[in-house]
A and B are shown apart, each in its own frame.
Chain A
């Protein structure tokens, strides 16, 4: 029940296309859902995050869609660029956790072809 399941494991998208990564969870106590971007040799960096009081959040080309009833959330990258090539992790945590104790998905390796 503490898991976050992420798919696909890898994704290849053409430049200008839309990248979509999905995550699902079981624990209804989860109430913070961030996405992290990780480049090779670097630590994860917060990309965008959402709380369950909204169904969508957009920041530039990055959008999180959240479906509370289905317990799913997804990351959409519009107009994908080669510079977006990285590994993306979804995560979740309940409010009773300390702020930095996140449960991560398995990661999606995104490759954007020029």
Chain B
């Protein structure tokens, strides 16, 4: 059973470009969470999605950021017109149920570097 798969592992973008980060949850998991980790900081919650629904986006910046989890395919975190401050590690986690904390599994992350 493969774990949470994130790609790409590393992504380099120039200021103003778009970044697309993909996350495939563990098999049987239909709940996906995105977190951002800035250098020397803890992880910060961004958004919680179920298939075709955004459940909680309270941690998502209001502009330039969007997320989706379509019926088929991976969850996508999209950052438009990237700025240097977007440089961070972005982690995706998945769980089979929303209330089972012990079943939350993280991917290895995407390191976004904005030049």
- Residue ranges of A at the interface with B (Cβ–Cβ < 8 Å): 4, 6, 9, 32, 34, 36, 41-46, 49, 89, 93, 95, 98-107
Interface size counted on chain B using CB atoms at 8 A? 29
Tell me whether B101 and A32 are in contact (CB under 8 A): yes
Q: B14 near A: Cβ within 8 Å? A: no
Cβ contacts under 8 Å, A107 to chain B: 40-42
Q: Which of A41, A95, A101 contacts B45 (CB 8 A)?
A: A101
Q: Does B102 contact A (CB under 8 A)?
A: yes
B42 and A6 within 8 A (CB): yes
Known: A6-B42, A43-B4. A99 touches B91 (CB 8 A): no
The interface of chain B, by Cβ under 8 A from chain A, is: 4, 31, 33, 40-45, 48, 55-56, 91, 93-95, 97-109
Question: Is A44's CB under 8 angstroms from B48's CB?
Answer: no
Complex Cα distance, B98 from A43, in Å, reads 20
Q: Bound state CA distance, A42 and B109, in angstroms?
A: 7
Cα distance A43–B108 in the bound complex, in angstroms: 4
Quick one: given A43-B91, A89-B42, are A99 and B106 in contact (CB under 8 Å)? no
- Do residues B98 and A99 form an inter-chain contact, with CB atoms below 8 A? yes
Contact of B95 among A34, A89, A99 (CB under 8 A): A99
Name the residue on A nearest B97 (C-beta).
Answer: A99
